[in-house]
Structures are given as structure tokens and as C-alpha cells.
Amino acid sequence: MNINEFIAYCQEGHSISPEQPELLNLLHQCDCNTQRFTMKLNNNFHTQDEIVDLFS
């Protein structure tokens, strides 16, 4: 399963249990990506167009 499939899986309402290490690894990847994005957004000044681009 790749990250996009994992996101779709979660959006469908499936739960993630400790017995699913592959899914836990993907969850960790999503968490790290979210932290990187948030840091990029919060640690610099961005014009409105740049913010729109970041969310694209």
C-alpha cells in the first residue's frame, strides 16, 4: 500500500490497530509529512499566492 492508498483507506473509516505494522509505518509517514508542511508554513512569511501554492 502506498501513502495515497493509505489516506483513502483512512478516509473510508477503517481503523488502524497495533497488529498492522505496515499501516502504522504509513501513519508515521503522514505525521512526519504534516509536521514538515506545518513548519514550512509557520516558519516563513508567505504571500497569499504562495500559501495557495503550498496547499495545491
| Residues spanned by the domain of 47 | 3-11+18-54
Number of domains in the chain: 1
Query: pTM for the whole thing?
Result: 0.74
22: CB partners within 8 A, 6+ apart: 1
What is the per-residue pLDDT across 24-52, written as a single tens digit (0 to 9) for each?
999 999 999 999 999 999 999 999 999 99
Distances (CA, A) of 9 to 30, 36, 53: 13, 22, 26
What is the per-residue pLDDT across 9-27, written as a single tens digit (0 to 9) for each?
999 999 999 999 999 999 9
